Structure 1
Amino acid sequence: MRAITVPVPGLRALTATAVAALTIGLAGGAAAEISGKTVKIGVLTDMSGPYSDNVGAGAVLAARMAAEDFGGKVNGAAIEIVSADHQNKADVGSGIARRWYDVEGVDAITEVVSSAVALSVQGLSREKNRMFLATGPGTPDLTGKACSPVGVHWAYDNYALPTVATTALVKRGLKDWYFLTADYSFGHALEGEATRVVKANGGTVVGAVRAPLNTADFSSYLLQAQASTATVIGLANAGADMINAVKQANEFGITAGGKTMAALLVNLPDIHALGLESAQGLTFAESFYWDMNDETRAWSKRFMDRFNGRAPGGLQAAVYGAVTHYLKAIQEIDSDDATKVAEQMRKTPIDDFYTRNGSIRPDGRVIRDMYLMQVKKPSESKGPWDYYKVLETVPGDKAFRPMDQGGCPLVAK
């Protein structure tokens, strides 16, 4: 898979004085510790599969916007964005990452929506001492048993999603659950965490069925769920899989027959694809909504102007936040050494339109507010992309797994 190189304008040639300083090894030159006089960031994502609308080209654009807003350079070194499609396959993703690190001089990788790919890339990044800014994957193992000193998990995870949303649904009396789960590490983790929350709040899981990634026909899985005694069918999947499952459940009359569909991971493009008529009433956890305040609207308008009028989802906005924080750390310490950058990132508070009053724990988990959202009825929407209402803000220390429960070997017992 060929990487697409996207140069960012603004590179300024080094002055003769700076070149001389580098030549004789003097410390303190503007880009003296930045390897190759370039900071190269790879957006490794799903460009063509079931998650491409939620990340894909929009994630690449968000990274480019972060580089451009930094002026195209950091401490005199050019910022370059490259991208590639991992096809949601761990071997493909790790192969691209290895080539980027070994041959193409990539300093950091971001996005990587697939949990299986992300775990592979996290291990390789640690081996190569390169920064991994995970924004799209859900597995909590990235800050648990597979944590890394050069890894940061930015947006959400499969602990926070059910902690925020499933808790709310069970407390409303929806206590008997059946799961339809994506059959790979992301889905397994999401089902496991949702099961924990259901049981902790006095509910019951009556069964589960697992479907392969990118399933087009969910009929057999939905009929098994419909035949169960559950009142709730929990969808532990995402992207096109979640959309197809909800659409087909409506076609089969499952929701009309009295069962509640609970989608555990929802992104704004999913709701756009479903339409408000089908999606109305869905309640779920999210990290961001474009129409929350003046700052989110201002950044989102810029994004929409460059993305055919499409509003950004939370996972796309997260890329901007992660890349920006990474570049600020490089600027502060005048180095792109991953270990040093990661230490600086953990020291520095996060405060931007995407994350307010956030911080990075020693295990790499970004602690930030999460939001309980509900999809509006068609009659409540005032225009294009006006899809959500915020029901509740859940503080990060309540939403995310306590650090001492994750099993991260970097954390002192």
Structure 2
Amino acid sequence: MHTKRIFALAGLGFAIFGASACAAQGISDGVVKIGVLTDMSGAYSGNVGPGSVLASKLAIEEFGGKVLGKPIELVVADHLNKTDVAASKAREWFDRDKVDVITELGNSAVALAVMNIAQSKHRMTMVTGAGATKISSEECKPTNVQWVYDTYALAKVGTMPLVESGTKTWYFITADYSFGHSLEKDGARFIKEAGGKVLGSSRYPFPGTDFASYLLSAQSSGAQGVAFASAGADLQNEIKQANEFGLTKRQKLVAMLMSITDVHGVGLKAAQNMHFAETFYWNLDDESRKFAERFYKKAGKMPTALQAGQYSAVLNYLRAVQKSGSDDVTDVMKTLRSMPIHDAFARHAKLRADGKLIHDLYVVSVKSPEESKQPWDYYNILKTVPGDQAFMPLSESKCPLVKQ
């Protein structure tokens, strides 16, 4: 921590000898080290995991493996969706391995734990895979960013249009931990604000495999919409089992967080006509397709929104290090907030005072098998929602960094 400040000041002191000398002194320990702490083997590994590691490598490749003349190193670990495992690895990385930033953190409980450790060590976290709204609201940190999504935006964009078009009554099936709770809470709020009603909910222990009792409760409720406040393998199993129980014949299935790999996993026949909010689609435009092609060549599949967001976060972290001439978290955060953010993932984006990246979201529906014209051609984009309309306004934020 102290070494980072010394090097940053030394760089400023030698500014008269040229920009390159200043920049070199701003890199602590002579290397920029990025840690990807993710779910490599569990319920969320398809949405993040190895694909997020690959996305990070693609961002580093764009810098030629160096920033400010210093090497960029990537370290990876599996947090197993356990906060104690994640916390132990974070401390090890910060204290022993001198990691500058820990990224991904796809699990809200894990993210909240590691954010606290990073702040105490004067290091940075970039949450790309976790969505609890409190990450950048009441639990916000000056050393953290929430880059891809939160449950507020997903719930607002994913439910209000459906309520307004006639899906008035809802039932939630919710993963029983902070992420699922946040999705259900935000979803219920926007359903009610749009004139709808929540008839009930069931919470299951995460991760889950048998959803029969919860699906039967949703079916017997008579709700027009059944919302899954879950993700990854859990969501895929819920959709498959919902089709087996015949819920799709009378009720609309709504994913509060769904990825393209989830659609691929359950197949278009089971997932067709599902509506949800997305933050990235590989076939959106030339920029998204160019990145997706690079990803596909190495992964054999298209990137999820969370993996594209991980690429964006690492890329812009390196841009901020380069622009600021330092890897000190204070310098990087200040620079990120002053930079326009634009890449294959983020459009019209800006980092706010609360650490949330504000960018466009998309309302999508899943194509039928007949509509799909090529592999991974899965979405119809129904609407683009500007970030300032999708995310929580600062006036509602409980983040202590925000001046009300």
Could you say which TM-score interval applies, normalised by the shorter chain?
over 0.9
The letter of the residue matching 2:57 is R
Give the structure 2 partner of residue 253 of structure 1: 246
Structure 1 Cα separation of the partners of residues 180 and 23 of structure 2? 45
The letter of the residue matching 1:350 is I
| Cα offset, 1:260, TM superposition | 1.4
| Cα offset, 1:229, TM superposition | 2.8
Whether 1:165 aligns to 2:142 is no
Structure 1 Cα separation of the partners of residues 309 and 282 of structure 2? 12
Whether 1:319 aligns to 2:295 is no
Structure 1 Cα separation of the partners of residues 332 and 305 of structure 2? 24
Structure 2 Cα separation of the partners of residues 132 and 391 of structure 1? 33
Give the structure 2 partner of residue 18 of structure 1: none
SS in 2 for 1:379: coil
Q: Pairwise mapping of residues 11-410 of structure 1 onto structure 2 (< 5 A)?
A: 26=14, 28-256=21-249, 258-307=250-299, 309-410=300-401
TM-score (norm 2): 0.95
Q: Deviations over 1:94-113 (max 9, x none)?
A: 11111100111100011111
Structure 1 Cα separation of the partners of residues 365 and 75 of structure 2? 35
Structure 1 Cα separation of the partners of residues 143 and 207 of structure 2? 31
Give the structure 1 partner of residue 4 of structure 2: none
Structure 2 Cα separation of the partners of residues 57 and 314 of structure 1? 14
| Cα offset, 1:245, TM superposition | 0.5
SS in 2 for 1:216: coil
The letter of the residue matching 1:206 is L
| Cα offset, 1:26, TM superposition | 4.5
SS in 2 for 1:393: strand
TM-score (norm 1): 0.92
Structure 2 Cα separation of the partners of residues 334 and 231 of structure 1? 55
Structure 1 Cα separation of the partners of residues 82 and 382 of structure 2? 36
The letter of the residue matching 1:278 is A
| Cα offset, 1:30, TM superposition | 4.0
SS in 2 for 1:194: helix
The letter of the residue matching 1:356 is R
SS in 2 for 1:389: strand
| Cα offset, 1:394, TM superposition | 0.2
SS in 2 for 1:58: helix
Q: % of aligned pairs identical?
A: 50
Q: Deviations over 1:234-265 (max 9, x none)?
A: 10000011110110010111212x01111110
The alignment covers a number of residue pairs equal to 389
For structure 1, which runs of at least 5 residues remain unmatched after alignment? 1-21
| Cα offset, 1:77, TM superposition | 1.0
| Cα offset, 1:393, TM superposition | 0.2
Give the structure 2 partner of residue 4 of structure 1: none
| Cα offset, 1:396, TM superposition | 0.3
| Cα offset, 1:132, TM superposition | 0.8
Structure 2 Cα separation of the partners of residues 356 and 249 of structure 1? 35
| Cα offset, 1:90, TM superposition | 1.0
Structure 1 Cα separation of the partners of residues 182 and 70 of structure 2? 40
Structure 2 Cα separation of the partners of residues 254 and 299 of structure 1? 37
Structure 1 Cα separation of the partners of residues 108 and 73 of structure 2? 25
| Cα offset, 1:29, TM superposition | 4.1
Structure 2 Cα separation of the partners of residues 118 and 396 of structure 1? 23
Structure 2 Cα separation of the partners of residues 393 and 229 of structure 1? 31
| Cα offset, 1:371, TM superposition | 0.3
SS in 2 for 1:133: strand
Backbone CA RMSD of aligned residues: 1.2
Maintained 8 Å contact 2:175/2:181: yes
| Cα offset, 1:231, TM superposition | 1.4
Moved over 4 A (4+): none
Q: Deviations over 1:368-394 (max 9, x none)?
A: 000001100100101110001100000
SS in 2 for 1:57: helix
The letter of the residue matching 1:181 is T
Structure 1 Cα separation of the partners of residues 119 and 22 of structure 2? 28
The letter of the residue matching 1:183 is D
The letter of the residue matching 1:264 is M
| Cα offset, 1:356, TM superposition | 1.4
Structure 1 Cα separation of the partners of residues 118 and 348 of structure 2? 28
